Structure 1
C-alpha cells in the first residue's frame, strides 16, 4: 500500500502504519522507539497539540529530533483536516480555511504561543473537546499574538545604550593599545599563512550590508516582525555588552603591521577636555556604526570581533525566521557569513581567535535563547512547574 493511500485513511492507521511513516521520513530511532512503546496510532498523531511534544515521553528528545518529529506531525495534521473534523479536533471554520492558511515567511514562531494555554490542564489539552482544540491550534494561537510595540521600543533603547557604551569602551581601549614597536603581532595560524588583502575588510562590510538588506526584507513581510525584532535587539545588545568586558580586560597587540595604531595624545592635566574629546570620538564611532567604509578606524578592540557578531546574528535570524522551503536563501546567508569572516581575517584586522570566539558566543547565545523560548515548562507559573515535576 502506497503512502498516499495510507494517508487518506489515517483514522484507521495502526501503530505499524505510524512506524512506517517515521521510517519513510527518516525520523530518529528514539522517536520510533517511543511511538512503538506507547502504541501510538493515526488518531493519536492527529490529536497532538504543541505541549505534547515537550512532555513525557517526548521531553527526552534532542532539539533536532523533536523539531523533525513536530514537522512531520504538523504536516500530517495540515493535510488531514477532514479527518480531524470527523474526530472533533477542529471546527467548520478551520476546515474551510485549511487550504488558504498560507504563511510566506516565518513559520518557526508557533512556540511563541505556548503561554496562551499554560494554565490549561494537560488532561483537557489531550481531550476531544472541539471548542478547546479549535481555540488552541498553532495557527489560531499565533494569530492571537500581540505585537506589544512598547517592548520592542524598550529593546531598541537597550541596544542603543549598549552600542553607545561599546563606542566609549572602544575609545578607551584605543588609548591603551600596546606599542607596536615593543609588542609585535602575536603568532597566528591563519594570519601567518595568508597574505594581507587590502580591500578585504571593505568586502566584509559590504557582505554585512547585503545581509542587513535581506533581514529588512524578511522583517517587512513577517507577520510577527515586532516580536522577532525585539529578540534581535535583545541578543545583539547582550553580545555587544559582553564584548565591552572582553575588550577592557585584556589588550592584545595589533594583529598586522599595516595598521597604524598608537594611543591618542590629549592636553595634560585637563580631564574635562580629555573626556570631551573621547565622547566626541565615541559619537563618531557610534554614528558610523563602527564601519570603516563610513570612516571609522579603531584599534585595540580585538577580543572579540564585532563584525563577526553582526554577520552571525543576521545569518541566524534570517535562517530561523524564514520558511524552511527557502533553502537556497539559507545556503546563501551561510555562505555570506563564512565569506565575511574570511574577509575579516584576510584583511588582518583581527586575530583568528577573535573571530572564532565571536562566532561561538553569538551562535551559542542565539541557540540557548531559542531553546529556552521553546521550553513550554518555562511558560508556566511556579505552582504549575512544581505540579508538572511531581
Structure 2
C-alpha cells in the first residue's frame, strides 16, 4: 500500500484553528472546503424538498385509489379501539412538529459544523421518505375510522394532484382542515410524522449535548405527545407508528455509525444502497472521519442576528 493510499484510510479530524490533523503517521494538508460544504448542504436541502414533494404527490395518488369505506371497514386496532374519534389533537400534533423543527434549526445554527448537521439530516431522512412511498403504493389500507373525512378524489388530474401536494408540503404535512376539506387517506404505512418526530429529537439530543440537559427531556416529551396526538386524531393505525418508532432509531444509528467510521462504508458496500449520496456528502476532509464534537460558534450566530436586525435600518434613507 502506498503512502497516499494509506493516508486516505486514516481518520481525519478538524482542529479548532481550521487545520486538519491526521491520526497516525500520515500528513494532511489544509483545505478550504467552506464553499463546497455549503453547496452540499444546499444540494441535500433540494433533495429533501424534492422527496417531500414526491411523498405528498404519492399521498394524493394513494388517496385517489383508497378502498371504499362501505365495502372495506377499518382494520381492527387494539389502541384505536379504546379511543374516541377527535379532530382537535391534529393541532397538538402540528404544534409539536413545529416546536421540534424550530428547536432543531436553532440548535444546528449555533453549532460550528452546522452545514454538516443539516446535510446529514436532510440526506438520511429523505431515504426513509422515499421508501415510505413504495410502502404506500404497493398496498392500499382502509381508513382508520368511518367518520374520518377524506379529501376529494382528483380523478387523475396532474394539476390538481400537484396543487394538493404543494399544500401538504407547505403545511409540513399538518392538516388543519380535517373537519372540512378532509385529509389524504390511505397513506398509512408507515407514519412520516413519527419518523420526523424521532429524527428531530435524536438530532437535538446529539448536537446539543453540552447545553441542552433540560432541553432533551422536553423535546422527547413533546415528541411522544405529538405521536400520541397523531393516534388520537386517527391519522394512522398503531401499526404505522410502531414500525416508524422501530425504523427511525435504527436508520439514524446506522447512518451516524457509517458517517463517523468511513472504514465501515468501504467494508460493507451494501449500505450504499440505503444511503447512496453518503460518500459524496461526506467527501470533504474538513470535519469528519471521526466523531463531530459539539462546538458552538456564538460569534457567527451573534453577527448573523445583528445583520438581520440591522438590515431594515440600513435600508432607511434619513
Q: Which TM-score applies when normalising by structure 2?
A: 0.70
1:323 to 209, 212, 230: 209
Once residues 374 and 213 of structure 1 are traced to their aligned partners in structure 2, the CA distance between those partners, rounded to angstroms, is 26
Q: Deviations over 1:245-284 (max 9, x none)?
A: 1110111110112212376163xxxx7xx22322222232
Once residues 226 and 361 of structure 1 are traced to their aligned partners in structure 2, the CA distance between those partners, rounded to angstroms, is 25
2:60 to 171, 183, 192: 171
* Residue number in structure 1 paired with 2:200: 314
Once residues 51 and 153 of structure 2 are traced to their aligned partners in structure 1, the CA distance between those partners, rounded to angstroms, is 24
Q: Deviations over 1:117-175 (max 9, x none)?
A: 66x6x4x48xxxxxx8xx99xxxx9x987461010011011112111111211111000
Alignment of 1:240-251 (within 5 A): 240-251=129-140
Once residues 122 and 177 of structure 2 are traced to their aligned partners in structure 1, the CA distance between those partners, rounded to angstroms, is 22
Runs of 4+ in 1 over 6 A off after TM superposition: none
Work out whether residues 177 and 253 of structure 1, in 8 Å CA contact, stay in contact via their aligned partners in 2: yes
Once residues 151 and 98 of structure 2 are traced to their aligned partners in structure 1, the CA distance between those partners, rounded to angstroms, is 29
How many residue pairs get matched?
251
Distance of aligned partners of 1:193 and 1:158 in 2 relative to their CA distance in 1, 3 Å threshold? same
* Residue number in structure 1 paired with 2:102: 213
* Residue number in structure 2 paired with 1:87: none
Once residues 288 and 326 of structure 1 are traced to their aligned partners in structure 2, the CA distance between those partners, rounded to angstroms, is 28
Query: Alignment partner of 1:292: what SS?
Result: coil
* Residue number in structure 2 paired with 1:363: 249
Q: Deviations over 1:210-265 (max 9, x none)?
A: 11121121122111111101111102211111111111011111011221237616
2:163 to 274, 280, 291: 280
Name the structure where helix makes up a greater proportion of residues. Answer: 1
* Residue number in structure 2 paired with 1:17: none
* Residue number in structure 1 paired with 2:287: none
Q: Which TM-score applies when normalising by structure 1?
A: 0.58
Work out whether residues 258 and 265 of structure 2, in 8 Å CA contact, stay in contact via their aligned partners in 1: no
Work out whether residues 149 and 183 of structure 2, in 8 Å CA contact, stay in contact via their aligned partners in 1: no
* Residue number in structure 2 paired with 1:190: 79
* Residue number in structure 2 paired with 1:159: 48
Residues 1:203 and 2:95 are matched in the alignment: no
| Deviation, structure 1 residue 303 | 0.7
- Structure 1 gaps, min length 5: 1-54, 56-109, 126-131, 382-390
Once residues 254 and 166 of structure 1 are traced to their aligned partners in structure 2, the CA distance between those partners, rounded to angstroms, is 19
Once residues 247 and 208 of structure 1 are traced to their aligned partners in structure 2, the CA distance between those partners, rounded to angstroms, is 22
Work out whether residues 90 and 174 of structure 2, in 8 Å CA contact, stay in contact via their aligned partners in 1: no
Distance of aligned partners of 1:223 and 1:262 in 2 relative to their CA distance in 1, 3 Å threshold? closer
Q: Deviations over 1:193-221 (max 9, x none)?
A: 22233311210110111111211211221
Once residues 293 and 171 of structure 1 are traced to their aligned partners in structure 2, the CA distance between those partners, rounded to angstroms, is 16
Work out whether residues 312 and 363 of structure 1, in 8 Å CA contact, stay in contact via their aligned partners in 2: yes
* Residue number in structure 1 paired with 2:141: 252
- Structure 2 gaps, min length 5: 1-9, 268-318
| Deviation, structure 1 residue 336 | 1.1
Alignment of 1:40-119 (within 5 A): 113=14, 116=20
* Residue number in structure 2 paired with 1:299: 185
RMSD: 3.1
Q: Deviations over 1:60-103 (max 9, x none)?
A: xxxxxxxxxxxxxxxxxxxxxxxxxxxxxxxxxxxxxxxxxxxx
Deviates more, 1:176-185 or 1:277-286: 277-286
Once residues 332 and 341 of structure 1 are traced to their aligned partners in structure 2, the CA distance between those partners, rounded to angstroms, is 14
* Residue number in structure 1 paired with 2:261: 375
Work out whether residues 13 and 21 of structure 2, in 8 Å CA contact, stay in contact via their aligned partners in 1: no
Q: Deviations over 1:166-189 (max 9, x none)?
A: 121111100001111111111111
Work out whether residues 203 and 340 of structure 1, in 8 Å CA contact, stay in contact via their aligned partners in 2: yes
